[in-house]
Amino acid sequence: MGRLCAGRVAIVTGAGRGLGREYALMLAEQGSKVVVNDLGSTAAGEGADLSPAQEVVDEIRRAGGEAIMNGSDVSNWAGAKALIDAAIDAFGRLDVLINNAGILRDRMMVNMTEAEWDAVIKVHLKGTFAPSHHAAQYWRQETKKQGAPVSARLINTSSASGLFGNVGQSNYGAAKAGIAAFTIISAMELRQYGITVNAIAPRAQTRMTEGLRERTEEEIKRRNPRWVAPIVVWLASEESKDVTGRVFEAGDGILKVAEGWHAGPGIDPVEDPNELGPQVAKLMQEARPNADIWGRDIVS
């Protein structure tokens, strides 16, 4: 059997641990040349340690694959550009960008500081946009150069917290909802160049989720990040050329297509707000309930 991503060059951000590590390893198993990007900070985004990323590179090389380590800060404009350039300089091309880097600064909204908000939005949202922008510019130029679309893949990381909400994560959830919207819009804009754009909302046991609740050994096995990696690797391959603008929930025993906002029940416009009470009450009766989301452990 041939390897699904043979000859393709992929960048994985946040690839030193957890989900990103599994993506990088499985991509290499499937023949991809991998740029392992990670600052090596804590789950809260503090400090730096490049050794986890280097360990992933060493593991890929021991298995006969090709990989390089990169410590660029993807939430920095110049750092994001340097990351894209590093892949092209090392391997002569770029086919796949997987935006996976992230941090947590969980706190109830009324207690959240400006710094806690800004840090999470920067790493997740700008850390997705900045490398995507520079990669898309490269792919657009390649399209013009070869006179035909490329076969490029942009894969982002959303979360159930962004899709459905989660108490204590207004910063993280807002960023992840933004990434889902960014994915859909970018898919519309980039399709003409042969670039597909999709996102994953993973359910996995990582250092960002392991302290949220007690889990059984069986539950932890179901949430192994390796269960998320197959859909990411498939989306990175040329086989996925007809799938774009989608968000997939993956891990913990499921693989689903997430379906976003849709128009619910409605009424004709009401001019007098004093008349709205009974009308809104009727709408609430007809609308789908959202009670099932409260209290769920849905962080990824």
93: CB partners within 8 A, 6+ apart: 9, 87
Spot the catalytic one: 23, 138, 172, 193.
172
The span from the CA of 229 to the CA of 272, in Å, is 53
Rounded distance between C-alpha atoms, residue 129 and residue 140, angstroms: 16
Angle between helices 51-62 and 18-29 (to 10 degrees): 20
Q: Is 172 part of the annotated catalytic residue set?
A: yes
* DSSP for residue 47: S
DSSP 8-state code for residue 35: E
Distance, CA of 270 to CA of 41 (rounded, Å): 53
- The 10 Å Cβ neighbour count of residue 143 is 17
Chain length of the chain: 300
What residues are annotated to the active site?
172
